[in-house]
Structure 1
Amino acid sequence: MKLYKYLLLTLLTITVSCSDDYFDVNGSETQPTTSSLPPQYRIQGAIENTTAQAQYRGSREVLGVTQYGSQNVANYYSETWSNEFTTGRYFLWQNAYVYSLPNTADLIVLGKRDNAPNFVAVGKILRAYILGMTTDQYGDIVLDDTYDGVSSMNITPKFATQEQVYQAIFDYIDEAIAELDESSPIALNEEGGDVLYAGDQAKWKKFAYAIKARYLNHLSKKSSYDAQAIITACQLAISSNAENAQKTYGGGPSSNDIQPFAVGGYGSSRFDYFSNFFVELLKNPLNLAVPIEDPRLTIIVPEAVNGGYHGVVTGRGLDGNPSDDYSLGNGGFYTSPNSTTDMINFSEVKFIEAEAKLRSNDPSGAYTAFKEGVQADLDKLGVDSAAKTAYLNLLDTEVGTTNISLSHIMVQKYIANVLNPETWVDMRRMDYSSDIYPGLQRPDNVNLDIFPNDDDWIQAMVYEYNEEDRNYENMPNNDPYVRLTTPVWWNTAD
């Protein structure tokens, strides 16, 4: 096997954010388990490792960039882009390669062994999703030399370019879509393990098309950008909230049944308060001269004990003010024990379609998709009928076919994708523009040694120090002055 499984015990001892028994559904994680276990017993672990390990870490560590939440202290490392950011103590790499990708590899191997192409397809879809999150945060990553469930370990794997990784993602998705049309002797949910779609293969296929649309849309600065291909994928993708790719949590009592960002979730640290940027954006999402609040504000953000909805400026902390003056980062729609982790949902698909249509000089089609995306998110959050109707009417008045802009689309997508690492991709594609995201500013106390200018923003993550220690000959330049400031492949024009 090819990826560090013999190093797991060492890695686990230095990772304090993951409980020992969180993913014991798969048994021992230090030994290959593909020899006799049927695939139906592996699908749950593959899904849960993807969402609660890889996606959680990929979201948590970039909160100082996406600015959904803030800490109660100034100079917190992830908000000032320092310390762990510059020394390689950022654990998406470990969570992707040690916990998440091996499960998908085993699922593919077991599915092939048992002539169950549906399990192979799910393994490839999840693998594409994890590889996508990982390459989007690092750039070049390990691809073919990862653990494949069969081969011997290689502790010095070679890296693939991000362009190569993207091609692999599209290949995995296309193969999976075809494999989901094949017959299988084993149902995906035969042992209750399909905690995403309960064995509904049509929904898995729509999920695959949604991921394809997302990654095609990332190429907006490349000459290969194909708006029509994106629109086509969107039309075959998730088409209602009932098809959203989301992991549902029961709310306890065990930590692995609690949303990771909620109190009691397995993560050792989350964020203390919602950020000032996010709260103020919700107070005036259409950037009107006379602000009109978004009806989702009170659903997503808890009211401060001292009254009102107030966020903490990212990087500044409480700044000497009482903690009760600010809106807590837990207890809202996305941060309660029974909240979901959304991988990709109907609203995002519609915003992707809206962007592609706008770039295709189809403002009418763009506005229609945009409005459907907003309505989908209002429905998902349970906004009452009167407030929903008023807000949608406001969109007709203030936006409409005539005024629809990239800013309108990206702001609403930002609101609908709370705590999803996809937001960091969008912010980089939009060049962190305050014209696109009104009010967006760098965090306070940002690391001026590496980011001296006001328009310097973080572009990628430093590879983990343990990877650099054992595989320095193969990995790209990991100097933080280079890694943190160099745009990834899709964020550069041809």
Structure 2
Amino acid sequence: MKRLTILTLLLGLLTLSSCEKYLDINRDPSNPQIAEGYVLLPPMLANLAFAEQFDSRFIGKYIQNWGEATANDTWDRMGYNAGSDNAGNIWRTHYWNLGANIQLMLDDATAKQKWDYSGVAKAMFAWSWQTTTDYHGEIILKEAFEPNRYVFDYDTQEEVYAYVQKLANDALTDLNRTDGNVSQASLARGDLTYGGDRSKWIKFVYGVLARNANHISNKSTYKPDAVIDFCNKSLASNADNFNVPFTAGGNSALANFFGPSRSNLGTYRQTDFLVSLLDGRVFKGVVDPRQSILTTASPDGVYRGVTPTQGDPNNLNGNTKRIPTFWGELPNLVVAGTTPGKYVYKDGAPFPILTYSEIQFIKAEAAFIKGDKAMALTAYQAGIGAALDYAGVAAADKAKYLASAAVAQAASDLKISDIMLQKYLALVGHGIIETWVDMRRYRYAPTVYTGFTPPSTEQLFPDNNGKIAYRVRPRYNSEYVWNRASLDKYGGNALDYHTVEPWFIQK
């Protein structure tokens, strides 16, 4: 019996040894065993775009970029879907799709002295930390990636803002290095946005810092000169825009999330507020040359938009007053793979994460607050011009609009509402989270956002207790299922937690 046991053990060891050798010689060279930066980077870039797009479907209703075709939609009412991960993709992307992958990319870059890759990783994470905290308020920072944890404590938004600054400055340090194995050709293997051009990544990082510094405009610590300096070092033209590319045709998973093939905006309609900014009602009777680009007329030729919570009363096949989809076609006529779409709502349209026009409007606002109206006017007009170019407006129409009564022509005539409404238009369909930051900073003021009317107390979601939305609740399936005790410390389990004003807008 003893001999049998020994023989069995020896046979087992021989078998294990043989298996190890077999596995050693059968590694798949097509699937790397170590995650390299050029492999990790493309899906992370795609997820930056998908996160914004996924959650913008909901927040776009808060800011009235769009509304639902049917009445009494929860998000039109500034509510939320309890027990659901709806509007939780920014959270998921930050902590899961990026998260450990960022660290893998940093480890690989450090080991191989690829400082350009480490700079890019830090730049993306700085942007993601900024977006996630602006969206949710208090989030998990210090304990976020500690192993073997099941409960995570939240950190203040002020701490997250400070960490964004540190991470962004670390990114600049790495991106400015030329030693080691820094190589544009190497970085370009994974960099689908800037093709390995570190100078453009540096400008992007300054854009993140500009957002970070400008978002605290209500505080006594706000420094408009610092914001202006960051803007001056950031994107210098539309050629510097941070665009995530997508592909039309073939695999729909590679198409723009807002394109007709993926049908994620099928029941969404332009709002009356958006239409009013383009048809002359707000801007002194001047029709915006982007009207037919950002919105679509009904079959009878009239531009209409839904009033949030009321839907489209003409939403029937054959009704000539029916409001079309964002793809420029009536709902019943949209055909995946055939309907081309329009603007940022096309299958092959790149999705902008940060644009030159946004940077100019940030600069204009900071200069206006500082009291330098001349600088504010110049940046404001540059922002409008860049937005018109981005939308594909013809040169003659652009020049006519810039010289019209819709655009302030003198520094003494410029108002903060001029700046913020034009920034709103520049970011329609893609800068929705940034626009929501702005609207919250100004507390949805109709003196700034002319014509914007939140749902009435009776129309608001019941859990709001008569208050409008100021943050998004943390992702349900991680926080409300596993981390409720930590949420309690910040009142996160309250039904109206999404109406609590975040730190960044407070004085």
What is the TM-score of this pair, normalised by structure 2?
0.84
- CA–CA distance in 1 between the matches of 2:83 and 2:448? 28
- CA–CA distance in 1 between the matches of 2:149 and 2:112? 27
Q: Does 1:159 align with 2:170?
A: no
Cα deviations across residues 60-82 of structure 1 (Å, max 9, x unaligned)?
22122111112211122221233
- CA–CA distance in 2 between the matches of 1:413 and 1:368? 14
- CA–CA distance in 2 between the matches of 1:383 and 1:68? 20
Identical aligned residues as a percent: 26
Give the corresponding residue for 1:90.
87
Q: Which residue identity lines up with residue 478 of structure 1 in the other structure? A: G
- CA–CA distance in 1 between the matches of 2:347 and 2:84? 32
The Cα of 1:490 is off from its aligned counterpart by 0.7
Q: How does 1:189-200 map to 2 (within 5 A)?
A: 190=186, 192-200=189-197
Q: Which residue identity lines up with residue 487 of structure 1 in the other structure? A: E
Find the partner of 1:322 among 293, 316, 320: 316
* Contact in 2 for aligned 1:346/1:373 (Cα 8 Å): yes
The verdict on how the C-alpha distance between 1:310 and 1:233 changes in structure 2, with shifts beyond 3 A counting, is same
The verdict on how the C-alpha distance between 1:488 and 1:188 changes in structure 2, with shifts beyond 3 A counting, is farther
Find the partner of 1:180 among 155, 175, 178: 175
Q: Which residue identity lines up with residue 79 of structure 2 in the other structure? A: S
Give the corresponding residue for 2:375.
365
The Cα of 1:397 is off from its aligned counterpart by 6.8
Cα deviations across residues 448-489 of structure 1 (Å, max 9, x unaligned)?
534454xx3201112233212211222232234441221000
Give the corresponding residue for 1:472.
484
The Cα of 1:286 is off from its aligned counterpart by 5.0
Give the corresponding residue for 1:312.
306
Cα deviations across residues 237-265 of structure 1 (Å, max 9, x unaligned)?
00000000111223232223321112123
Q: Does 1:486 align with 2:500?
A: yes
- CA–CA distance in 2 between the matches of 1:103 and 1:284? 48
- CA–CA distance in 2 between the matches of 1:58 and 1:126? 18
The Cα of 1:213 is off from its aligned counterpart by 0.5
Give the corresponding residue for 1:74.
71
* Contact in 1 for aligned 2:360/2:383 (Cα 8 Å): yes
The verdict on how the C-alpha distance between 1:268 and 1:336 changes in structure 2, with shifts beyond 3 A counting, is closer
Look up the SS of the partner of 2:462 in the other structure: coil
Moved more, 230-239 or 416-425: 416-425
Give the corresponding residue for 2:417.
407
The verdict on how the C-alpha distance between 1:35 and 1:167 changes in structure 2, with shifts beyond 3 A counting, is farther
Find the partner of 1:294 among 288, 302, 309: 288
Q: Which runs of 5+ in 2 are unaligned?
A: 1-30, 328-340
Q: Does 1:280 align with 2:265?
A: no
Give the corresponding residue for 1:17.
none
- CA–CA distance in 2 between the matches of 1:396 and 1:64? 26
The Cα of 1:428 is off from its aligned counterpart by 0.3
Q: Which residue identity lines up with residue 409 of structure 1 in the other structure? A: I
Q: Does 1:48 align with 2:46?
A: yes
Give the corresponding residue for 2:473.
462
Q: Which residue identity lines up with residue 449 of structure 1 in the other structure? A: P
The Cα of 1:155 is off from its aligned counterpart by 2.3
- CA–CA distance in 1 between the matches of 2:87 and 2:109? 33
Cα deviations across residues 107-159 of structure 1 (Å, max 9, x unaligned)?
22221222111111111111111111111111110113223xxx634221221
Give the corresponding residue for 2:21.
none
Cα deviations across residues 177-230 of structure 1 (Å, max 9, x unaligned)?
111111241535536321110100000000100111111000101121000000
Give the corresponding residue for 1:27.
none
Give the corresponding residue for 2:352.
342
The verdict on how the C-alpha distance between 1:231 and 1:50 changes in structure 2, with shifts beyond 3 A counting, is same
Cα RMSD, aligned residues only: 2.3
Give the corresponding residue for 1:356.
366
Q: Which residue identity lines up with residue 223 of structure 2 in the other structure? A: D
Give the corresponding residue for 2:260.
263
Q: Which runs of 5+ in 1 are unaligned?
A: 1-32
Moved more, 56-65 or 314-323: 314-323
* Contact in 2 for aligned 1:247/1:340 (Cα 8 Å): yes
- CA–CA distance in 1 between the matches of 2:105 and 2:266? 30
Q: Does 1:137 align with 2:135?
A: yes
* Contact in 1 for aligned 2:471/2:501 (Cα 8 Å): yes
The verdict on how the C-alpha distance between 1:301 and 1:397 changes in structure 2, with shifts beyond 3 A counting, is closer
Give the corresponding residue for 2:239.
242
Find the partner of 1:449 among 455, 462, 472: 462
The verdict on how the C-alpha distance between 1:253 and 1:217 changes in structure 2, with shifts beyond 3 A counting, is same
The Cα of 1:271 is off from its aligned counterpart by 4.7
The Cα of 1:94 is off from its aligned counterpart by 2.2
Q: Which residue identity lines up with residue 462 of structure 2 in the other structure? A: D
- CA–CA distance in 2 between the matches of 1:220 and 1:85? 32
* Contact in 1 for aligned 2:471/2:500 (Cα 8 Å): yes
Look up the SS of the partner of 2:473 in the other structure: coil
Look up the SS of the partner of 1:425 in the other structure: helix
What is the TM-score of this pair, normalised by structure 1?
0.86
- CA–CA distance in 1 between the matches of 2:474 and 2:298? 38
Q: Number of aligned pairs?
A: 452
Give the corresponding residue for 1:125.
123
The Cα of 1:270 is off from its aligned counterpart by 5.9
The Cα of 1:269 is off from its aligned counterpart by 5.2
- CA–CA distance in 2 between the matches of 1:396 and 1:293? 9
- CA–CA distance in 1 between the matches of 2:47 and 2:407? 44
Find the partner of 1:434 among 446, 453, 471: 446
* Contact in 1 for aligned 2:417/2:447 (Cα 8 Å): yes
* Contact in 2 for aligned 1:34/1:109 (Cα 8 Å): no
Give the corresponding residue for 2:428.
418
Give the corresponding residue for 1:378.
388
Look up the SS of the partner of 1:342 in the other structure: strand
* Contact in 1 for aligned 2:68/2:267 (Cα 8 Å): yes
- CA–CA distance in 1 between the matches of 2:204 and 2:44? 16
